[in-house]
């Protein structure tokens, strides 16, 4: 299974694993599961920390670097195809970060793990919703 972790899922997996349902936690821990992230999620974490919307136990950049060393995440780079798909993806809103994350899942053929209900009815996007 190839999973793209939405921003909050990355944060929960590291800082609040109890927020993840057991079946999702098991998928994330399964060595056969490929875990992917979009650089947009890292950008969102930096912004959330700057605005004081999340509290980290270290400076945000150090937090991100520690996460990337600790967790076997693969980067799904933003490229031309992701940029183009970000305008084609069928989302009910225009949030640029969400558009890039959805487009990344489509272009790299990944299943998005998210608790954001705005992704669940998106055509062409595979989603594992967390309730």
| Angstrom distance (rounded) from CA 130 to CA 23 | 10
For a pLDDT cut of 70, what percent of the chain falls above it?
A: 98
Assign domain 2-129 one CATH number from 3.90.550.10, 3.40.30.10, 3.40.50.1010, 1.10.486.10.
3.40.50.1010
85's CB contacts (< 8 A; 6+ apart) are: 103, 106, 107
Q: Given a cut of 90, is residue 65 above it in pLDDT?
A: yes
Closest C-alpha to 115, from 20, 22, 2, 14: 20
Q: Where are the domains of the chain?
A: 2-129
Q: What does the pLDDT look like over 76-118, one tens digit per residue?
A: 999 999 999 999 998 877 789 999 999 999 999 999 999 988 8
Predicted pLDDT of residue 64: 95
Mean pLDDT of 55-70: 92
């Amino acid at each position: 299974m190839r999973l793209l972790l939405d921003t909050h899922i990355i944060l929960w997996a590291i800082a609040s694993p109890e927020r993840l349902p057991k079946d999702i936690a098991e998928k994330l821990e399964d060595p056969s599961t490929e875990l992917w992230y979009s650089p947009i999620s890292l950008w969102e974490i930096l912004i959330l920390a700057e605005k004081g919307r999340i509290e980290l136990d270290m400076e945000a950049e150090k937090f991100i670097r520690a996460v990337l060393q600790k967790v076997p995440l693969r980067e799904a780079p933003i490229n031309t195809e992701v940029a183009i798909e970000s305008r084609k993806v069928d989302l009910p809103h225009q949030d640029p970060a969400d558009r890039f994350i959805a487009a990344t899942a489509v272009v790299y053929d990944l299943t998005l793990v998210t608790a954001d209900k705005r992704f669940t009815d998106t055509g062409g996007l595979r989603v594992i919703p967390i309730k």
